[in-house]
Amino acid sequence: MTHIKAVLFDLDDTLWPIVPVIVRAESILFDWLTAHAPQVARQFTIESLRKRRLALLAENPHYAIDLRALRHTALCEAFTSCGEDLAKVDHAMQVFSDARNSVTPFEDVHPTLARLHGRVALGSVSNGVADLGAIGMAHYFQASIAAHSFGSAKPDPAIFHAACEALGVVPAEAVYIGDDPVLDVEGAQRAGLRAVWINRSAPQPRRSLPGHIEPDAVCATLYELDEWLTERIMIPNNL
């Protein structure tokens, strides 16, 4: 079997739980709207703004590749309909972005990435809009590909191939680590990579795989992943 030369990670719900982050970020944004764009806060709620984003996504599926653009468009619509100053939208987006990048990684993330760093090429591939620099984790990764800047999203093989190319490996030499069976596991395998399904027990109960999807491994933690990788990337046990 080909030795693994590169390990690629999903971000949201693989390295940190994303639902509490988004809930908090939307609350912080709405508080900002209440103070700085009160007409928007009077005529909309967090839920009605969310429903409008879902409607925009249904109308234009391309927004699935750029969630930042989706939120910006929805805010512009809301500001316009209320007669609020559109110049404030960029500030509102920055407020949300700052809160969205205030994540709390799972406790196994920093130790595992630090152990792997320098022993194998590390990269990330994400459909989300996390900023690894703002989060303070960019130093672990030699390449980071995001759907909104790349122009296509998982499970498109092209985004996996771009990450492999950036790390100087062929797909057979890479493994992708993610929590989503379809986007991460099936998507990576169809692109020619191996795939490990991260099925954590918290904050949600462990899940079941669709019957047609068979990961190369299933791990409950990144510590388990590290053990699985050790033999395959030939990391000396004394390092």
Q: What is the pLDDT of residues 12-56, one digit of tens each?
A: 999 999 999 999 999 999 999 999 999 999 999 999 999 999 999
Model pLDDT for residues 118-129, shown as the tens digit of each residue: 899 999 999 999
Q: Is residue 238 part of a domain?
A: no
In the beta sheet, which residues pair with residue 16?
A: 12
Does residue 30 share a domain with residue 13?
no
Residue 175: CATH number of its domain: 3.40.50.1000
Same domain, 119 and 220: yes
* Same domain membership, residue 205 and residue 116: yes
136: left (phi over 0), alpha (psi -120 to 50) or beta: left
Q: Determine the structural domain holding residue 71 and report its residue range.
A: 19-100
Instruction: Supply the CATH number for residue 82's domain.
Output: 1.20.120.1600
C-alpha 126 chain-centroid distance: 4
Q: Report the number of distinct structural domains present in the chain.
A: 2
Tokens of 75: 């805010």
Amino acid at 112: T
- Count CB-CB contacts under 10 A for residue 76: 13
pLDDT greater than 60 at residue 147: yes
Last residue of a domain, one of 72, 100, 128: 100
With residue 159 as reference, give the H or E element that holds it.
helix 157-167
Whether the pTM exceeds 0.75: the reply is yes
Assigned token pair, 24: 């908090």
Cα–Cα distance for residue pair 10/145, rounded to 1 Å:
10
- Residues linked to residue 36 through DSSP beta bridges, in sequence order: none
Domain end among 83, 100, 117: 100
pLDDT digits (tens, 9 = 90+) for 66-81: 999 999 999 999 999 9
Residue 67 lies in a domain: yes
Instruction: With a cut of 70, say whether residue 149 has pLDDT above it.
Output: yes
Predicted confidence band of residue 205 (pLDDT cuts 50, 70, 90): low
Within this chain, do residues 118 and 218 fall inside the same structural domain, yes or no?
yes
Would the pLDDT of 211 be above 90?
A: no
**Strand order in 6-9's β-sheet?**
143-146, 121-126, 6-9, 174-178, 194-198, 217-219
Residue 63 counted as domain residue: yes
Domain closes at, from 100, 123, 139: 100
Instruction: Tell whether 80 and 122 lie within a shared domain.
Output: no
Assigned domain for 155 exists: yes
Beta-carbon count within 10 A of 61 CB: 8
Provide CB contacts within 8 A for 237, sequence distance 6+: 230
- Compute the CA torsion angle 25, 28, 34, 39 (nearest 10 deg): -10
Indicate whether 68 and 156 sit together in one domain: no
> What does residue 62 show for φ and ψ, rounded to 5 degrees?
-60, -25
Judge whether 54 lies within some domain.
yes
Residues 158 and 75 in one domain: no
29 and 95, same domain (yes or no): yes
Do 11 and 123 fall within a single domain? yes
59 and 117 in a single domain? The answer is no
| Region for 110 from its dihedrals, namely left if φ exceeds 0, alpha if ψ lies in -120 to 50, beta otherwise | alpha
Domain contains 1: no
Burial class (CB in 10 A: 0-12, 13-18, 19+), 101: middle
Does some domain include residue 64?
yes
